[in-house]
Structure 1
Amino acid sequence: MVADHSAGTLLELAAAGRLAAEYPLVCRIVAALAEQEPARGEVARAGRLLDRVDPAEIERLHPGLPGVSVGITGHGTLSALAPALRAEFARHGLVARPTVTGFDGYVRELGDPASELSAARPDLVLCVLDPAMVFDEVPVPWTPADVERAATAKVALIERLAERYTRAGRGTLVLNTMPLTRRHTAQLVDWRSRARLGAVWRQANARLLALADHHPSVVVVDLDPLVAEGVPVGDDRLGTYAKAHLTDDLLAAYAREIGHLARNLVGRTKKCLVLDLDDTLWGGVLGDDGVDGIEIGGGYRGEAFLAFQRVAKQLGSQGVLLAAVSKNDPELVERALREHPAMALREADFVQVVANWRPKHENLAGLADRLGLGVDSFVFVDDSAYERGLVRRELPGVAVVDVDGEPALHPGRLLRDGWFDQRELTGEDRVRPARYREEAARKGFLDRFDSVEDYLRELDVRVRVSRATEPEAARISQLTLRTNQFNLTGRRLQPQDVRRLMRDPDALVLSVHVGDRFGDSGLVGAVLARWHGDLLHIDNFLLSCRVFSRSVEEACLNWVLRHARERGAGAVLAGYRPGGRNGLVREFYPRNGFVHEADDGTMLTFRHPLTEIPPPPPHIRLVEVHEAP
């Protein structure tokens, strides 16, 4: 944990003109401030300090930090949103490049191809909607029917703008629901009319929320849950005099949600929730209290721990990997998970349960190695301040969630930062934990053989390479966002980007499915390529860490090379861009017959002449291979 003088350190850095130079430190400080509930004002102050710093200077000094460009438009005054975004992006190690357009200019910005936002092509466009958009259009006096007409027309306009924006393919458009305030409902003196107004308003918001179903490039943030947590919607004076129809506090809470979205956009969504056990997942100390003595279900504290387990189980059902790391006797932990009658989480819910007396940070590092993940994929929850501090110091990439002796607060503290948020859930997500448990069985199977070659032969690996279909677009996008090790160029694509490539006659989007004697691993890889005359250029090649060390990548590349030659290609070009954790694939193309051709400082380019293509690895069966057009 950064010391209490962190806010003062930011002021010192700002006074010295060092915020850009020390931006990684700034990110750590803002992250620490954001973890402290009373520090909301300090985070806002950090955003205002960062608003004075040129993002280009930060990126020049720290080229490895991902930057996200954000266009901000809407109906009211939104000047407070840019600094809030800068702070929220910083706490995730990102650089925000916000641009705020003119007042009430959202129609032109979204609808005119020559507008400022259209020309800038930002990664995210935030069109911030507020209640005044509707109530500014109603007559005085007004009735619920007047509001219904105005809301229907306004939502129809936004639907048309979203449709136009989606067709233009200019990144991700973020909309939001419009909160209904008492200032408006109280102007109706009978409860029947108020009920009618509430129904009308919710119908309009339901139409907004449905836009995400119809337009893959649209995200809709529901503001009602934020308001329900006590965040005020409007300030009468600022709304009247400055046309700031949403409070700074609500814009800050909204910016927090956008920070989660930006984190997903650059591939930094977390994958694994690692839970301590004693006084975190259940009450009491298992070694002292025994299986029958721990608190889980029954009694108010036991019910609180049970509620937390149910939240973790809910996350696990959507593809979040659950693991436990505890200083405990492993046999006793096994008994508790199997035998305690009130336990919501059982052994089968975890991909790994680690119980021993080693330091937690060492166990987390070992767990990452066994799962084939980076520790920066982990969210760690522990009630011990000592253990949390040790993990923060030794493994700074791990997101650490502070919980204490009040288990009723555990769920809120875990959920408030949206560590696992993603654009779209796929079928692969729901079966991911089972895939990792199958992988554990594979590793146990390996121990039975004297050589890797014998193991691979008996594993019976099956690989299918085929042209990707529309339902696979979301999963391929997810691979580009979540895969960091076998990711040759680091290119991140949203689902709409993948679908656009699939419609391009010069593009080749391939999906890779893998199975073996232990089951179907699913869609675990993708090849994104493009034809340039008689050259096929591989723009990116991705493979999930779950199928490493089986030569799947060589089999896929063999298929691509043979396909290119059959189509009359003169050569295949492929790129490698160093970055993050993909160093292990730097020599992938040279190892497979490619020769170095160019280096522009950011990308290495390789060429395969297609004169000699070795056969695929002998232990792999290429099955159901469909000719790609």
Structure 2
Amino acid sequence: MATVVSTAVGERTGPLDRLRALHAEGRLADAYDEVPGLLAELAAAGDPAGPPAPDLARAGQLLSRLDREEVLREHPGTETFTVAVTGHSTLNGLTAPLTAELARHSLLLKVHEGDYDSWRRDLHNTGSDVYTSGADLALCVLDAEIIFAELPHPWRVEDVQRATDGKLNLIRSLAERYVARGSGTLVLNTVPLLRSHQRRLVDARSRARLGVIWREFNAGLLRLAAVHERVHVVDLDPLVASCGPVNEPRLAAYAKVQFGEQLLAAYAREVGHLARALRGRTKKVLVVDLDNTLWDGILGDDGPDGIAAATTYRGEAFGRFQKAVAQIGSQGVLLAVCSKNDIEPVRNVLREHPDMALRETDFVQVTANWEPKDRNLLEIAQRLNLGVDSFVFADDSPFECGLVTRSLPGVAVVRLDEEPALHIERLLADGWFDVRELTSEDRARATQYRTEVARQDLMESADSMDEYLAELGVEVTLSPVRDHEIARVSQVTLRTNQFNLTTERLQQADVRALHESSDGLVLAIRSGDRFGDNGLVGAVLVSGVETDGGAESGWHIDNMLLSCRVFARGIEQACLSAVLAAARAAGAGAVYARYRPTAKNHRVRDLYPSMGFAETGESADGTVSFRHDLSDEQLPTPPAYVRLTADVGRRSS
């Protein structure tokens, strides 16, 4: 919903005008906290089935002129994100949309732009910005001229085969070099085949062979992401299909701009999704309205027989949307309903209506009442023990969308409209649920959250928390992570915010490196109870387990993390007691730990002191250091109601 901003002279302006006014007045850095909301309005104004709104790139041009240090002085909590850009063609047009897309997600961009056609040199030279800038992402933007510019004249299909084979081998070796020596994630892309290249062949058989060769080349690029954990490949084919021409021929010929503005904007949007996922900003819950959102019609007015999600012209569009929602839910996204309706008719429709592709059991929470929707969203978040900023809210009502946007700015609002054929495009346009890799725990998440209802019923029937925990029968296993669990541990570091002692985000390669190091331990926390298995719910990351001498010799707990759905069950105390006991058994002199405060992890501030750690100092950023000297005759023991199985290992300190 577009917000109207009044200027001093009473003019009505839109979000881009507001940004321009702030920039002209020199107040854009001071008002930077307004930027994500204004950019969200610009993004919502775009065609959901097409490229990002052009005004986003225009806003990015303003934002790219900001002094980053000034923004950080005015808003010290702003999270920065570093990107190194290299490629074959002229890529100056990427900076503005990339700045805007990252700012949409509250990330302040620091960009290092490479020279024209420098990609081979930059990826080979470990002294280039790609390696030395500390980039979170290294973007290597490839276009068709990396092949066709090197072909003989005239060329034949066989020449293209040799060129693509050689180029794929080169890219593969450069990717391996970056993975071995770089620090971030390398982003490659598939390469669009231009019609002007294909039509230089006059016979259909040769064109078909060229198509096969080109698709095999792109398939080889895509496979690099499956081989390397720190390589991501953006598939440009779907973007080209929605954006139109790959380039503008005159700019391509004279300025070497091989990708047009619309394609670069769509590419920047995909990079923004990836950056958000790398920083743990992936959304976890999709909350949907019902009337004119999941079905055609208004249940309260039309009755069950008057609504449709199949059998009618418009109803089929709603049915397709339901199937898309169900597809998302099958991959670990929690589904919930927030509707202004009476609850029993809603339940009857979700249970019995023949048109419904979604049933009541597909949702972890169905809320239907006449309370304000922002209040209902807060209650759903509390019931799921999740932050409301992990929610995406989809509704066809401008009023409801505006209410949630103003009241709960952390919620991603998907404004649907009267055209149900575009519901899917609007929901999927911003990749709110994108992750690097799907785990088995993701697929089981909805089932695990549904069992929370039974746990809450047990807690409400118990006379005390101790009685509830005793009847719950909590079982905990703490042991070194297994290879197939590394992706899940990485995901826990990326997505866990409340029980995260340092909020350090680790990619799979980082977890693997600590796991395989001579002095590191990655301990996976798995839990279950009488209602079922919760799977891998957390981790303890330990380093220095073989350290000798020095003022801080001993074991160092680099971080401890636990899923919010298993809070307050004694799991964290059980695991810490096991780590302390193992450290003393291994001869460690002490165990050290840190707590770095964030807006969301204040609940765990006193965890270490409660387990006998003494505070040893506090740094300028608020990070508190702790030490447990292991000298107590009686170390903390697991709570009596927790059955713990621990295999921490016995390494010498």
Query: Which deviates more, 59-68 or 466-475?
Result: 59-68
Distance in 1 (alpha carbons) for counterparts of 2:36 and 2:298: 36
Aligned position for 1:378: 391
Residue of structure 1 aligned with 2:625, choices 605, 615, 618: 605
Distance in 2 (alpha carbons) for counterparts of 1:105 and 1:379: 40
Aligned position for 1:43: 56
**Does the 8 Å contact 2:595/2:625 carry over to 1?**
yes
Query: Which deviates more, 355-364 or 607-616?
Result: 607-616
Distance in 1 (alpha carbons) for counterparts of 2:329 and 2:15: 35
Aligned-residue offset at 1:275: 0.3
Aligned position for 1:581: 600
Amino acid at match of 2:3: V
Distance in 1 (alpha carbons) for counterparts of 2:304 and 2:36: 42
Aligned position for 1:21: 30
TM-score for both structures, normalised by structure 1: 0.98
Q: How does 1:439-454 map onto structure 2 within 5 Å?
A: 439-454=452-467
Aligned position for 1:295: 308
Amino acid at match of 1:548: F
Structure 2: gaps (5+ residues) = 5-12
Residue of structure 1 aligned with 2:110, choices 87, 97, 108: 97
**Does the 8 Å contact 1:326/1:354 carry over to 2?**
yes
**Does the 8 Å contact 1:578/1:586 carry over to 2?**
yes
Secondary structure (helix, strand or coil) at the match of 1:598 reads strand
Aligned-residue offset at 1:61: 2.4
Amino acid at match of 1:616: P
Distance in 2 (alpha carbons) for counterparts of 1:221 and 1:356: 43
Residue of structure 2 aligned with 1:5, choices 1, 6, 14: 14
Secondary structure (helix, strand or coil) at the match of 1:52 reads coil
Secondary structure (helix, strand or coil) at the match of 1:325 reads strand
Aligned position for 1:250: 263
**Does the 8 Å contact 1:403/1:410 carry over to 2?**
yes
Residue of structure 1 aligned with 2:128, choices 111, 115, 126: 115
Distance in 1 (alpha carbons) for counterparts of 2:327 and 2:537: 24
Secondary structure (helix, strand or coil) at the match of 1:257 reads helix
1:545 aligns with 2:564: yes
Aligned position for 2:7: none
Amino acid at match of 2:624: L
Residue of structure 2 aligned with 1:274, choices 277, 287, 306: 287
Residue of structure 2 aligned with 1:221, choices 225, 234, 241: 234
Amino acid at match of 1:556: C
Distance in 2 (alpha carbons) for counterparts of 1:595 and 1:349: 47
**Does the 8 Å contact 1:66/1:266 carry over to 2?**
no
Residue of structure 2 aligned with 1:463, choices 476, 479, 483: 476
Residue of structure 1 aligned with 2:177, choices 130, 153, 164: 164
**Does the 8 Å contact 2:523/2:648 carry over to 1?**
no
Amino acid at match of 2:23: A
Q: How does 1:56-95 map onto structure 2 within 5 Å?
A: 56-95=69-108
Residue of structure 1 aligned with 2:637, choices 615, 622, 628: 615
Aligned position for 1:432: 445
**What per-residue deviation string (whole Å, max 9, x for no partner) do you get for residues 520-579 of structure 1?**
000001011111434111111000001011011111111111111111111111101111
Aligned identity (percent) is 54
Aligned-residue offset at 1:450: 0.6
Aligned-residue offset at 1:292: 2.4
**Does the 8 Å contact 2:392/2:414 carry over to 1?**
yes
**What per-residue deviation string (whole Å, max 9, x for no partner) do you get for residues 279-298 of structure 1?**
10001111222222211111
Residue of structure 2 aligned with 1:315, choices 302, 322, 328: 328
**What per-residue deviation string (whole Å, max 9, x for no partner) do you get for residues 169-223 of structure 1?**
4210000000111111111122221111111100100000000111111000000
Aligned-residue offset at 1:626: 5.3
Amino acid at match of 1:435: Q
Distance in 2 (alpha carbons) for counterparts of 1:573 and 1:231: 56
Distance in 1 (alpha carbons) for counterparts of 2:367 and 2:287: 10
What stretches of structure 1 move > 6 A for 4+ residues in a row?
none
**Does the 8 Å contact 2:478/2:525 carry over to 1?**
yes
Secondary structure (helix, strand or coil) at the match of 2:27 reads coil
TM-score for both structures, normalised by structure 2: 0.95
Query: Which deviates more, 32-41 or 578-587?
Result: 32-41
Distance in 2 (alpha carbons) for counterparts of 1:116 and 1:276: 47
Distance in 2 (alpha carbons) for counterparts of 1:54 and 1:473: 39
**Does the 8 Å contact 1:31/1:92 carry over to 2?**
no
Aligned-residue offset at 1:628: 5.6
**Does the 8 Å contact 1:31/1:90 carry over to 2?**
no
Amino acid at match of 1:2: T
Query: Which deviates more, 51-60 or 468-477?
Result: 51-60
Amino acid at match of 1:103: Y
Aligned-residue offset at 1:60: 3.1
1:479 aligns with 2:501: no
**Does the 8 Å contact 1:596/1:604 carry over to 2?**
yes
Residue of structure 2 aligned with 1:555, choices 574, 585, 588: 574
RMSD after superposition: 1.2
Paired positions, count: 629
Aligned-residue offset at 1:47: 0.8
Distance in 1 (alpha carbons) for counterparts of 2:571 and 2:650: 19
Amino acid at match of 2:282: T
Secondary structure (helix, strand or coil) at the match of 2:240 reads helix
Aligned-residue offset at 1:143: 1.6
Distance in 1 (alpha carbons) for counterparts of 2:21 and 2:301: 48
Aligned-residue offset at 1:59: 2.5
Amino acid at match of 2:151: V
**What per-residue deviation string (whole Å, max 9, x for no partner) do you get for residues 217-253 of structure 1?**
1000000001111332111111111111111211110
Secondary structure (helix, strand or coil) at the match of 1:373 reads coil
Distance in 1 (alpha carbons) for counterparts of 2:60 and 2:646: 54
Q: How does 1:148-227 map onto structure 2 within 5 Å?
A: 148-227=161-240
**Does the 8 Å contact 1:59/1:95 carry over to 2?**
no
